[in-house]
Structure 1
Amino acid sequence: MTCVDNILIVAPWGMPIWRRLTYSINGKEIKSCTSLLPLLLSMKEYIDAGKVDIVIIVLDSLVDKYEGSVDRESECFKCYYELQDYINKANEADLYKDLVSALESFTKEFFKCLLRKYNLDLKINDLNVIVAPAIGSPGGKWTFKGELREFSSLLLHKIAKMGLSKPYHKIIVDLTHGINFMPSLVTNLLHKFASIILLAHKDLDKIVIEVYNSDPVVPTRDEIKRLININKAFHEEIKTIQLIHAIPYFISVSGWIKDNKYKKDLFMKIKDLENKIKSVLFGHIKYVYSSLYYPLPLALYYLICGQDLYDLGQVIENEYMNYIYINKKDLTIERPYTIEPDALYVYYISKAVHNRLNLTKCVPPDLDYLETVFTQIYSRVNIAYEALIEHEISQLRQLEEKIKEDKDILNRLLNRWESYDKIKLLSERKDVKSEEEKEKSQKMPDKRILIAHVGLSYDLVELSLNEQNKLVLRYKLEPKKILEDSKLIVKSEK
């Protein structure tokens, strides 16, 4: 099924003043001060075809000017030195968004500068820069106060947005220049990136992840002549998505804000924002995510159809940046709250399903639609779910054939809804209880039975025939109530 060949390259970078080296990849030796250029040259045919997008991740600690020892003949150092105006602009910024903008521009111009220095004609389709939050004082001058989880949240947000709009069949990560926590956190997010992309696009049946890292470099006099291998650390094919087992609160307020009596107004604004988001995350999104977590395709359909999804991503684009404070006197950047990466992931998984289904209207689904669309979606969650859904659909198809052969039942279902269990009994020529007796015998939805029948339990589903005489389905109760009564809700935790 995977016929697209879009590639996303992700490269975390520290301070870009790397030395001149000779890199080796796929048997080719290339002189370069960065491993990214040889990696790009190794897939030039994809680049020429416009199939490659790049994400370069830098830290906001790039605002600290580097003053240590360097290889002054290195093209990387030359570009860094030539573009100091951008670093100066970042240092002069009063607003955090302006600091980020200056560092984004620096990184993009730095990459273009390297292409010029090495006379490379690489027509990159889309170069994206993520300025991610640092922590502590990595450069020795500026200090960054916040939580390490914010790095993961920002990356998840930025790359998820890209993955929702384009079906990448391969994610390639070059960890060579990542520093401190960057390589481990980027690697930890890869399955989540792949999950969002895989779920959002029906033309993908797998996503390939490849991670590269170069040989360690020990400074020597002849290091430019040394051969540094760009090694493939691992290769993995992702065919099922990753789902977390509990939904955390979206926002976590930093301790230094809670305990600061001078920050009460800011604290209250953040709490108001937190309450607003909580109502969305633990409202509609929780039910959508739960109906995906458990195999409940009909519930998922009716939860999504005709519903707009509140754009939590805009919280990062708008609110988050506005609350980050630059203290120019102490050279400190203070982040007052943390967006939980797992909560953001739940949102983007839900958004991926929304985007994929694109259900602007609620038209009762027929069996062809349920089988074609939802077996594919749930096979991305767990391959066993595909078999469960196919079995239940096959039972309904058999019933559909019996209905077409029985004029009484056929006429009964035209423009009218009847209980699944009642129609099943009629098709088998068995006695049907009176409505009163049936209502008395109804029980609360059973969790085990619902999962076994992928939510298509006889006593909860109603059937009808559409204009094409195809069997269509709906629930007797609201899907949210069914999930609540059966306790098929993914729990929340703080």
Structure 2
Amino acid sequence: MRKDIGVLDIFGRKTMGQSGIDTLIVVPWGHPAGWRQVRYTTKGISLDHCTTLPLLLKMFPRAEVFVLVLDSLVDEAPKPQSPSKCWQCYEENIEHLRYASQAKSYKELRDQLADFLSSYVKCLLGDQYKPVIHPVICPAVGRPGGKWIFRGNPRDFESIALYDLGKTILEKPFSSIVVDTTHGVNFMPSLTTRLANRLASLLLARHEHLVLAGQRGVKIYIYNADPVPLASPGQPEMSLNLIAEETHSSIQIPPVIPENLLETMEPGTQPFIELNKTYFEYAGLVASSLYYPLPLLLVHAVSQETAAKAWDVLVKAHREWETRVEILGNTVQRRLALNPDALYLLMLSVAVARRLEEKGLSYPTDTRQLAQVLPLYEAVNEAHRYIIEDELARIEKKTVRIQRILKEVDWTPLYLIYIEPNQHFSAVKKRTMIAHAGLQKEIVQVKLLENGQVLLRYNSAWENKPLQQLNSSGLLLPQYKATS
């Protein structure tokens, strides 16, 4: 069989081959109807077009594309003085916008705008480029187009973009993220750049080989083209500049957690108590178990169909947010706000749970299985790996010495294998828990299996009420209330 050797991109890196997609392109766009025809150039490559997207696809031939636009695109644009391909494609697909302007619900408005954007991008790219295109309709604020008014939390932009992008990256292991902020407006460039780092963290949490691969992380490239002069004769030549490049090699775990995933924009009311409580039960437990080296608690946290249940919370929160948006004439009023920090943590919980589920980890778990989470913890903090490795080795060494005794009993408190002169019992303390990778001998039980493997579990107090136990020992990441 012929070996697929792949192709080289502009950096000389081998891509995943003819059928492999290894790059995620994210482009925030303002209103494209008035964009001029320009010659975009970079690294000896040039292309005449009204948008940088075809050039990006030439640079990264194995890419999947997410185009982020605002729902204010529903405002029809006037014909520019110098119509380009961007205007021609706009005119050809304008009926979608007119349908959107007559939408009876916000979901219908977003669906019609997504149909417009899909057809519009295909028109722009023609037959030469046929990547997978994902249209993402994000919330605007203010009056960007002049006619329609949009009211709501500006951070909803990041939340909706993360929700739509997250569904794909949880399934596809992109090794590179390309963000081009050239055509973004207002808050779009800054929030999309911030979004890239969160997407990279989710990729590392979900797909283990990205941590183990040669580049040990996800490459992030940020591009921005020279500004097009407002008035210049002929066709200007603009450079597409690489303004930032990094290898994102660590999973971001914030030291504080938002109290709520879904909030009302009306002060003094909070109608989603159960949903927000369920969000924190998943996000708070998983985030705390990662932020501190608590691998056994993490396996326990994700052993009860956590991925599916946490994803259900995400879907429900998104559905509540969308259905509570009202269209009143030419005003779009968002009644709820989705916290992007909370959404990220809940999506991180889904990513980690799916990864561990695929490994077949179950609770109670043995020391060899527990060692399989080492690459995950190393991607959070390299020191975590050595703390966990050392503690597992100590437990295995001690159990070998008294294996005859352990074989005669069922579950045994871990402290019994550490019997020493003047033995005393310690309360659960934050410092001790961190130093011993959450395997403090007073709260862990062991069982020696016939094959010699050492099975571990927590006592009933930690199994039944892990959040309360984390909180009382100072290991639960603190919560904060978001400001609108």
Which TM bucket (shorter chain)? 0.7 to 0.9
Specify every segment of 5 or more residues in structure 1 that has no aligned partner in the other structure, as ranges. Answer: 47-51, 260-266, 434-440
Distance 1:39 1:325, change over 3 A: same
Which residue in 2 is equivalent to 1:166?
A: 172
Distance 1:183 1:361, change over 3 A: closer
1:32 and 2:49 are equivalent in the alignment: yes
CA distance in 2, matches of 1:322, 1:193: 26
Which residue in 1 is equivalent to 2:107?
A: 97
Is the contact between residue 463 and residue 473 of structure 1 (CA under 8 Å) also seen in structure 2?
A: yes
CA distance in 2, matches of 1:75, 1:361: 53
Q: Secondary structure at the match of 1:358?
A: helix
Per the TM alignment, residue 94 of structure 1 is displaced from its structure 2 partner at its CA by 1.4
Alpha-carbon RMSD: 2.1
Which residue in 1 is equivalent to 2:214?
A: none
Per the TM alignment, residue 221 of structure 1 is displaced from its structure 2 partner at its CA by 4.2
Which residue in 1 is equivalent to 2:139?
A: 133
Per the TM alignment, residue 254 of structure 1 is displaced from its structure 2 partner at its CA by 1.4
Q: Deviations over 1:112-171 (max 9, x none)?
A: 11122xxx42231x2101100000001110000111011111111111221111111111
- Runs of 4+, deviation exceeding 3 Å: 2-5, 219-223, 359-363, 430-433
Is the contact between residue 3 and residue 203 of structure 1 (CA under 8 Å) also seen in structure 2?
A: no
Q: Deviations over 1:23-65 (max 9, x none)?
A: 1122012111111111101223x2xxxxx21100000000101
CA distance in 2, matches of 1:235, 1:252: 35
Q: Secondary structure at the match of 1:229?
A: strand
2:289 to 288, 291, 295: 291
Which residue in 2 is equivalent to 1:8?
A: 24
Per the TM alignment, residue 247 of structure 1 is displaced from its structure 2 partner at its CA by 1.8
Q: Secondary structure at the match of 1:216?
A: coil
Per the TM alignment, residue 91 of structure 1 is displaced from its structure 2 partner at its CA by 0.8
Which residue in 1 is equivalent to 2:369?
A: 369
1:65-80 mapped onto 2 (5 Å cutoff): 65-67=76-78, 69-72=80-83, 74-80=84-90
CA distance in 2, matches of 1:396, 1:188: 42
Larger helix proportion of the pair: 1
Tell me the TM-score normalized by structure 2.
0.88
CA distance in 2, matches of 1:410, 1:418: 7
Is the contact between residue 8 and residue 172 of structure 1 (CA under 8 Å) also seen in structure 2?
A: yes
Per the TM alignment, residue 104 of structure 1 is displaced from its structure 2 partner at its CA by 0.5
Specify every segment of 5 or more residues in structure 2 that has no aligned partner in the other structure, as ranges. Answer: 1-13, 212-216
Distance 1:316 1:282, change over 3 A: closer
CA distance in 2, matches of 1:307, 1:42: 41
CA distance in 1, matches of 2:197, 2:98: 37
Per the TM alignment, residue 288 of structure 1 is displaced from its structure 2 partner at its CA by 2.1
Which residue in 2 is equivalent to 1:264?
A: none
Q: Which has the larger radius of gyration?
A: 1
1:478 and 2:462 are equivalent in the alignment: yes
1:150-229 mapped onto 2 (5 Å cutoff): 150-205=156-211, 206-224=217-235, 226-229=236-239
Distance 1:98 1:451, change over 3 A: same
Is the contact between residue 414 and residue 443 of structure 2 (CA under 8 Å) also seen in structure 1?
A: yes
2:411 to 402, 414, 417: 417
Which residue in 1 is equivalent to 2:319?
A: 318
Moved more, 96-105 or 483-492: 483-492
Tell me the TM-score normalized by structure 1.
0.86
Is the contact between residue 422 and residue 432 of structure 1 (CA under 8 Å) also seen in structure 2?
A: no
Which residue in 1 is equivalent to 2:40?
A: 23
Is the contact between residue 14 and residue 178 of structure 1 (CA under 8 Å) also seen in structure 2?
A: yes
1:253 and 2:264 are equivalent in the alignment: yes
Is the contact between residue 86 and residue 105 of structure 1 (CA under 8 Å) also seen in structure 2?
A: yes
Distance 1:410 1:279, change over 3 A: closer
Is the contact between residue 117 and residue 135 of structure 2 (CA under 8 Å) also seen in structure 1?
A: yes
Whose RCO is larger (CA < 8 A, sep 6+)?
Answer: 1
Which residue in 2 is equivalent to 1:465?
A: 448
Is the contact between residue 139 and residue 156 of structure 2 (CA under 8 Å) also seen in structure 1?
A: yes
Is the contact between residue 449 and residue 455 of structure 2 (CA under 8 Å) also seen in structure 1?
A: yes
Per the TM alignment, residue 362 of structure 1 is displaced from its structure 2 partner at its CA by 4.0
Distance 1:223 1:355, change over 3 A: farther
Same amino acid, percent of matched pairs = 33
CA distance in 1, matches of 2:362, 2:250: 28
